[in-house]
Structure 1
Amino acid sequence: MFVILVYDVNQSRVAKVLKLCRRYLYWVQNSVLEGELTEAGYKKLKYELSKIINKDEDSVIFYTFRSTKYSNREIMGLEKGGQENIL
């Protein structure tokens, strides 16, 4: 499945959340990651994130798609991030 993850977390947890998410997805912009995940990988990412975030302060949104076949991605301006998972 194709996943777009958007997060808004307390500054004290931003580095941990980004580091974890980059193990699974590609960073594309501040607080935005995307990529292909298996169902197991998606569940594991959600579980690991639940151990880091504070559910009373933080927000993580997952947009999931069966594939990218019917989607279009257009960038205006500077392209941030990249297609590598290396930190």
Structure 2
Amino acid sequence: MFAIIVYDVGEKRVARVLKTCRKYLNWVQNSVLEGEITETNLKKLKAELNKIIEDDEDSVIFYTWRTQKYSDREIMGLEKGGQSLII
């Protein structure tokens, strides 16, 4: 499946959340990651994030599609993060 994750967490937890998410997805820009992920890995990611975030302070939003085929992506302005190809 294709997933986009958006998070807003306390300053002390930002680095840990980003590091955890980058194990599974590609960093796109501040607090946003995207990419293909299996259901099993999505469950693992959610479990890992649940141990990091504070439920009464932080927010993580998961958008999922069965496939990226039906989604479009348009960038305006500077492209941050992303998937650079190294040849």
TM value normalised by structure 2: 0.94
Structure 2: segments with no counterpart, 5+ residues? none
Per-residue CA distance 1:17-44 (angstroms, 9 max, x = gap): 0000001000001000000000100000
Match of 1:29 in 2: 29
Match of 1:79 in 2: 79
Segments of 4+ in structure 1 off by > 4 A? Answer: none
Match of 2:10 in 1: 10
Q: CA-atom RMSD, angstroms? A: 0.8
Seq. identity, %: 74
TM value normalised by structure 1: 0.94
Structure 1: segments with no counterpart, 5+ residues? none
Give the deviation of 1:70 after TM superposition: 1.2
Residue correspondence of structure 1 range 25-64 to structure 2 within 5 A: 25-64=25-64
